[in-house]
Structure 1
Amino acid sequence: MLKNFFVSNSEELTQDWIRIICKALNTVNQFREIHNKNEQYSYYAGQNMGGNFIGLFAKRRVLSRIKELYSCQIKAGLGGMTKNKGSCALRFRVDNTTFALLNCHLASGDAIKSRTEMIKMILSEAFGKAKTLPRAMAHHCVFLFGDLNFRVQMSNSLARE
């Protein structure tokens, strides 16, 4: 099922970016494009918050099966007041499977506790304004990604062993 989707988390979305991403997804290699229209990807939906963006691209044959789309923003900067930190999220259902996609931008530096609190808040608040929808972790498939700003506290060579 997952091979039918591509999720973008580009930070500066424009119509040009959507066209570039669609062209890349619909190109097999530098010499051949996908000509079967049902196998081509199309931009379906997106959510933007400041410099944070999430976009859903799906194969055309799947588009009509995407239902219950809902997008939201979760502000986490300065105690939930600003858009510089937080998440853009999409949730949807394909057939009997629900998906939650959360593109996050978390606090940087040594603020590990702050980052983990932001994640808890994002997971708690995502999709909460839509009273009839499940919370993020209640979906069948949950993807949390983005600029999470976690760091490995060891040398590069040791981390690669």
Structure 2
Amino acid sequence: MSELIVTNIEELKKNATQIIQIEDFSGEGTINVRVKRLSILGLCRKGQIPNQLLGTIKGLFYGGSRNLPSMDLKEMGGLFDIISENVLVEPTMKQLEEADIQLTDTQKMQLWAYSQQGVEGLKSFRKIAEDSLSNINGKNVQTKAKPNFKHRK
């Protein structure tokens, strides 16, 4: 039986981030971003999440990304901004703001899903995208209208 060896700090640093694809700004393609997983409880502990959002966090944390609790849209927007800021490594939210680029709601939801479930959390978004593109080639679209005489008077 081999002895377990502690993973060194350099290896941990390499594995701390990941490049993932999120929806692009048109909603038709993807962009690559470097992200890191985070601990929402850690953000709460560090005081990075304002007290007024702690109830919202509790609802999201225990409800999961699919069962968003009813909440004030302003609170939800603030919360997803905090999550996005802490998940994005490259580009950073600051870099995006300096370039006058705002993430879309879907992109923020994808970053939230990644923060909680890793790449698995993005699968539901991929399924939605595939379903919306399934008839993009138009092969299943009727080319000519067929007359319907049974309703003529």
The structure showing larger relative contact order (alpha-carbon pairs under 8 Å, at least 6 residues apart) is 2
TM-score (norm 1): 0.24
TM-score (norm 2): 0.25
Structure with a larger share of its residues in helix: 2
